[in-house]
């Protein structure tokens, strides 16, 4: 494909058509010029390939494929190599299915444990998320299939995700919310990147020139194409001008018409359009060139899914060595998750698994003796006394009771957030009651995000399998019986209470704007700064063996801010079984002019050790490992002075500590000092902290953008919910409800698919309705609805009747 020639030859009509999708999943084909169409599909923990109509919420059926563990799970492996292998396997499946780009990975930072989509994201820490994303992207792309890193950026809540404006101060943005994207883009060059639904600091991500041009392309050197999140385009012209290349899905002519009009009026230049056209053509050419016949090995992929699930489970508690179990023990299995596992979340990432292992199925196959009690119902979360009584009777007769419990499907979904950190009452009650009749209780937890465990003291063992993917049950049995030694560590902190999380008061509280008042203090950065006790710290996880740490060595005790530092230490397996340890390195400072977290993860390595074996682990820290983002110079800067290097087994277990003094080469850089203007950020350990709007305003450093609420009339960004003040709005919503009820096949309002579809529809801006309905709602219907709601009845009727 000679791209320059093509751009010269294409008509305006062809150009405006090419920068929008053809349907849900394909780019536009232009046979006259031999421009083929390529297909993109979700991701990220498998391939969700649908037919042309399809949907962006995982409602319709998709081709069976391997359901690997979602990102929240695989992150606990802390193993970019495993993520690479997963990426390769997904790439192979995409290749076989003729899919050129897989929409993943998702690297949004877990600002709050409540975000409904946290199961699709890696971590609260950008270094960990960035390294894992890099592995995944390189794996997919090694096969000749593109990755699409998403959702760029600060898309940290599901509620009102299509309208909400994330107000994030520049330091938090650079150090926390952009850093994983930056790392993965610089290191792995994903073919594509997906700007998110939300606004960031006043501009929709798809219209955010600062984000898409200045930062992404100019600073980071991104060479690929940007693809909007599905239905995220607000104004196609502003988007193209800002650096968006491809709008997805099809806008059914709406955007093309607007782009053509704007080309005529001069609001859009041909030059800007050509940039996007060129990048779409480059993407199509790349995708097309790599297409080839391929057959993947489904058994091997299932095996890989099992390995990843096993490497990612986290042993949270193991009193008296209750685990591993032995085949001689009489085991009582409790909990319906043993029959119907929870292995992924709901929404656009939902894979139709090629097969699904279950605990009971596997035990049957092995002809292993066991008893089983359902324990709770799946359809709702209320306590069922009868089922609990049955479970207690059987558990009392067993040597050990293994309870499969956790979050049921309606807790974790795209489209809405959780309301609390609790498990279903039926699960909590079951565990407490079984623990009264059997002293050896092991809980196998399934949940893609932090939960509270009120019964923790009553049980001996907790194995957290997160969401294990289609082979999760096999992996669980491997771990329970010691065939595999648990080695996963938490990629996020578990607070004792939701209120302990600094963002909890400033999360998901208004439709229009969300102030990220906690700034850089996300996850362990806050708990450590506040010296708060946690249920389980970031980086925590046990093993069936023990490890000891020693002989920390730094390549220097004093160096320049432009130098790299090599850090070595020794790790020994002191137990009597082989196992893997995830060695973590944190960098921190005791006193500083800027506010900062006491320590930040800057390196990690997973090492496999035979009993008695010692290995030397080496890390190389670059100047960036010590840097903060300086808003005055709009660049990274290393503050001169003394830094602590801590190495150990978790963010709260760091036996090795050494200091390094860093001297400045780069003189005369003012280090921002907010000690008098926003002192709260320096004293987070003084009791229960509230961050006032004034404090946040100081570090935000400019006026807050205007909120949408100010607009007097209904407009494209009004939602069906907004229109409820009009009779027509109420009628439309009632009709939509009936239609969606049928479409989802829901039978009760607690069905996660229903909650997601219904919430997304109510909160969707009207401008997205044409695209999101796959063109079944024509543009003039939506315009008529708006006109009617604004009292322009005649115009509305004209639109409805004449189009
Ligand atoms: C999600 C994206 C997904 C897209 C296509 C959107 O709703 O936010 O992550 O890739 O749909 O299904």
Catalytic residues: 229
Please state which of the ranges 42-56, 347-361, 376-390, 682-696 shows the lowest mean pLDDT.
Answer: 42-56
pLDDT value, residue 509:
86
Could you tell me the pLDDT band of residue 668, with boundaries at 50, 70 and 90? confident
What's the CA gap between 727 and 796, in Å, rounded? 15
Nearest CA to ligand 1 atom 7: 56
What's the CA gap between 711 and 718, in Å, rounded? 10
What's the CA gap between 708 and 714, in Å, rounded? 11
Place of tokens 């799970």: 73
Nearest CA to ligand 1 atom 11: 56
Q: Does pLDDT of 563 surpass 80? A: yes
Q: Is 505 helix (H, G, I), strand (E, B) or coil?
A: helix
pLDDT value, residue 8:
96
More confident residue, 506 or 52: 506
What's the CA gap between 189 and 207, in Å, rounded? 22
What number is the average pLDDT over the span 537-550? Answer: 98
Pocket lining for ligand 1, CB < 6 angstroms: 42, 56, 103, 150, 229-230, 348
Q: Is 395 helix (H, G, I), strand (E, B) or coil?
A: helix
- Residue of 40, 42, 50 with the most ligand 1 atoms within 8 Å of its CB, for mutation: 42
What's the CA gap between 796 and 205, in Å, rounded? 31
Q: Does pLDDT of 183 surpass 70? A: yes
Count of residues making up the chain: 803
- Residue of 101, 156, 164, 230 with the most ligand 1 atoms within 8 Å of its CB, for mutation: 230
For 635-683, what is the HEC assignment? EEECCCEEEEEEEECECCECCEEEEEEEECCCCCCCCCCCCCCCHHHHC
**How many CB atoms are located within 10 Å of the residue 558 CB?**
12
Identify the CA nearest to 294 among candidates 427, 145, 426, 429: 145
Q: Does pLDDT of 709 surpass 70? A: no
pLDDT value, residue 58:
73
CA 388, 391, 397, 401: dihedral to nearest 10 degrees? -110
pLDDT per position as a tens digit, 451-480: 999 999 999 999 999 999 999 999 999 999
What's the CA gap between 441 and 461, in Å, rounded? 6
Q: Does pLDDT of 750 surpass 90? A: no
Give me ligand 1 centre to Cα 349, in Å. Answer: 8
Give me ligand 1 centre to Cα 34, in Å. Answer: 29
What's the CA gap between 426 and 407, in Å, rounded? 11
Nearest CA to ligand 1 atom 2: 229
Identify the CA nearest to 344 among candidates 298, 309, 372: 309
Could you tell me the pLDDT band of residue 688, with boundaries at 50, 70 and 90? confident
pLDDT value, residue 710:
58
Nearest CA to ligand 1 atom 12: 56
Percentage of the chain lying above the pLDDT 90 cut:
93
- Residue of 196, 229, 351, 753 with the most ligand 1 atoms within 8 Å of its CB, for mutation: 229
Using the 8-state DSSP alphabet, how is residue 97 labeled? Answer: T
Q: Which atom of ligand 1 is nearest to the CA of 56?
A: 12
Place of tokens 């290191």: 187
CB 205 within 8 A of CB 213: no
Identify the CA nearest to 414 among candidates 504, 508, 466, 349: 349
Mean pLDDT score of the chain, rounded to an integer?
96
Nearest CA to ligand 1 atom 5: 56
What number is the average pLDDT over the span 19-26? Answer: 96
pLDDT per position as a tens digit, 401-420: 999 999 999 999 999 999 99
Give me ligand 1 centre to Cα 457, in Å. Answer: 40
For 727-756, what is the HEC assignment? HHHHHHHHHHHHHHHHHHCCCCCCCHHHHH
Q: Which atom of ligand 1 is nearest to the CA of 161?
A: 8
pLDDT per position as a tens digit, 571-604: 999 999 999 999 999 999 988 999 999 999 999 9
pLDDT per position as a tens digit, 280-338: 999 999 999 999 999 999 999 999 999 999 999 999 999 999 999 999 999 999 999 99
What's the CA gap between 722 and 718, in Å, rounded? 6
pLDDT value, residue 57:
76
Q: Does pLDDT of 343 surpass 90? A: yes
pLDDT per position as a tens digit, 50-76: 977 777 777 778 999 999 999 999 999
Give me ligand 1 centre to Cα 66, in Å. Answer: 19
Give me ligand 1 centre to Cα 229, in Å. Answer: 6
Give me ligand 1 centre to Cα 227, in Å. Answer: 11
pLDDT value, residue 454:
98
Provide the strand spans (E) within 97-243: 101-103, 146-152, 165-167, 192-195, 199-200, 203-204, 225-226
Give me ligand 1 centre to Cα 93, in Å. Answer: 19
Q: Which atom of ligand 1 is nearest to the CA of 347?
A: 7
pLDDT value, residue 711:
65
Provide the strand spans (E) within 51-188: 101-103, 146-152, 165-167
Q: Please give the distance of CA 101 from its chain centroid, rounded to a whole number.
A: 18
Instruction: Please measure the distance between the N-terminal and C-terminal CA atoms of the chain and give it in whole angstroms.
Output: 39
pLDDT value, residue 775:
86
**How many CB atoms are located within 10 Å of the residue 9 CB?**
12
- Residue of 247, 348, 757 with the most ligand 1 atoms within 8 Å of its CB, for mutation: 348
Query: Which token pair is 717?
Result: 């960004």
Q: Which atom of ligand 1 is nearest to the CA of 148?
A: 10
């Amino acid at each position: 494909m000679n791209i320059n020639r093509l751009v010269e030859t294409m008509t305006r009509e062809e150009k405006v058509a090419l920068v929008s999708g053809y349907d849900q999943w394909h780019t536009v084909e232009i046979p006259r010029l031999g421009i083929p169409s390529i297909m993109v599909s979700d991701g990220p923990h498998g391939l969700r390939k649908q037919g042309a109509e399809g949907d962006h919420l995982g409602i319709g059926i998709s081709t069976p494929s391997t359901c690997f563990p979602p990102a929240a799970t695989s992150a606990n492996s802390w193993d970019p190599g495993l993520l690479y292998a997963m990426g390769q396997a997904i790439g192979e499946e995409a290749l076989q299915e003729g899919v050129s780009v897989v929409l993943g990975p998702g690297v949004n930072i877990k600002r709050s444990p409540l975000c409904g989509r946290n199961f699709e994201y890696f971590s609260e820490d950008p270094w960990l998320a960035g390294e894992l994303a890099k592995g995944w992207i390189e794996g997919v792309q090694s096969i000749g299939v593109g990755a699409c890193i998403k959702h760029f950026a600060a898309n940290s809540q599901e509620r009102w995700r299509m309208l909400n404006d994330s107000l994030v101060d520049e330091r938090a943005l650079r150090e926390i919310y952009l850093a994983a994207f930056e790392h993965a883009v610089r290191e792995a060059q994903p073919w594509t990147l997906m700007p998110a639904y939300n606004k960031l600091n006043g501009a929709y991500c798809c219209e955010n020139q600062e984000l898409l041009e200045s930062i992404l392309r100019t600073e980071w050197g991104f060479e690929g194409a940007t693809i909007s999140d599905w239905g995220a385009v607000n104004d196609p012209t502003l988007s193209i001008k800002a650096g968006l290349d491809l709008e997805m899905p099809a806008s059914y002519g709406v955007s093309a018409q607007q782009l053509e009009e704007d080309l005529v009026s001069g609001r859009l230049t041909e030059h800007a359009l050509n940039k996007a056209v060129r990048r779409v053509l480059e993407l199509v050419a790349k995708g097309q060139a790599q297409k080839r016949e391929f057959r993947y090995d489904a058994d091997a992929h299932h095996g890989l899914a099992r390995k990843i699930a096993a490497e990612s489970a986290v042993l949270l508690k193991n009193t008296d060595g209750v685990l591993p179990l032995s085949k001689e023990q009489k085991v009582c299995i409790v909990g319906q998750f043993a029959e119907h596992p929870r292995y992924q979340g709901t929404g656009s990432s939902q894979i139709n698994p090629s097969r699904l292992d279950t605990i009971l199925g596997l035990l049957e196959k092995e002809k292993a003796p066991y008893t089983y009690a359902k324990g709770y119902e799946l359809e709702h979360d209320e306590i069922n006394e009868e089922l609990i009584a049955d479970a207690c009777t059987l558990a009392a007769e067993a040597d050990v009771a293994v309870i499969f419990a956790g979050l049921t499907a309606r807790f974790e979904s795209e489209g809405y957030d959780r309301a609390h950190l609790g498990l279903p009452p039926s699960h909590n009650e079951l565990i407490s009651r079984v623990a009264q009749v059997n002293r050896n209780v092991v809980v196998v937890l399934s949940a893609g995000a932090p939960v509270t465990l009120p019964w923790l003291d009553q049980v001996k063992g907790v194995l957290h399998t997160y969401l294990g993917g289609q082979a999760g049950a096999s992996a669980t049995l491997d771990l329970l019986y010691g065939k595999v030694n648990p080695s996963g560590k938490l990629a996020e902190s578990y607070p004792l209470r939701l209120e302990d999380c600094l963002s909890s008061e400033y999360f998901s509280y208004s439709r229009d704007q969300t102030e990220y008042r906690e700034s850089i203090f996300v996850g362990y950065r806050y708990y450590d700064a506040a010296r708060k006790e946690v249920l389980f710290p970031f980086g925590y996880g046990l093993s069936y063996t023990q490890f000891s740490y020693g002989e920390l060595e730094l390549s220097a005790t004093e160096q320049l801010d432009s130098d790299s530092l090599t850090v070595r230490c020794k790790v020994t397996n002191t137990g009597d079984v082989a196992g893997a340890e995830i060695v973590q390195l944190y960098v921190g400072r005791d006193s500083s002019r800027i506010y900062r977290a006491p320590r930040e993860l800057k390196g990690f390595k997973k090492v496999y050790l035979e009993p008695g074996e010692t290995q030397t682990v080496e890390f190389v820290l670059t100047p960036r490992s010590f840097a903060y983002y300086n808003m005055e110079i709009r660049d990274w800067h290393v503050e001169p002075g003394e830094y602590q290097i801590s190495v150990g087994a978790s963010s709260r277990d760091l036996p090795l500590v050494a200091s390094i003094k860093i001297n400045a080469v780069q003189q005369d850089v003012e280090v921002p000092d907010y000690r008098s203007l926003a002192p709260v950020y320096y004293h987070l350990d003084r009791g229960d902290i509230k961050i006032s709007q004034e404090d946040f305003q100081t570090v935000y450093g400019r006026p807050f953008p205007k909120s949408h609420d100010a607009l007097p009339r209904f407009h494209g960004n009004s939602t069906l919910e907004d229109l409820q003040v009009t009779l027509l709005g109420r009628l439309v919503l009632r009709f939509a409800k009936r239609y969606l009820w049928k479409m989802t096949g829901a039978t009760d309002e607690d069905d996660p698919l229903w909650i997601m579809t219904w919430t997304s529809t109510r909160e969707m801006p009207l401008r997205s309705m044409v695209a999101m309905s796959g063109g079944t709602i024509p543009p003039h219907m939506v315009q008529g609805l708006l006109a009617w709601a604004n009292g322009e009845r005649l115009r509305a009727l004209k639109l409805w009747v004449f189009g």
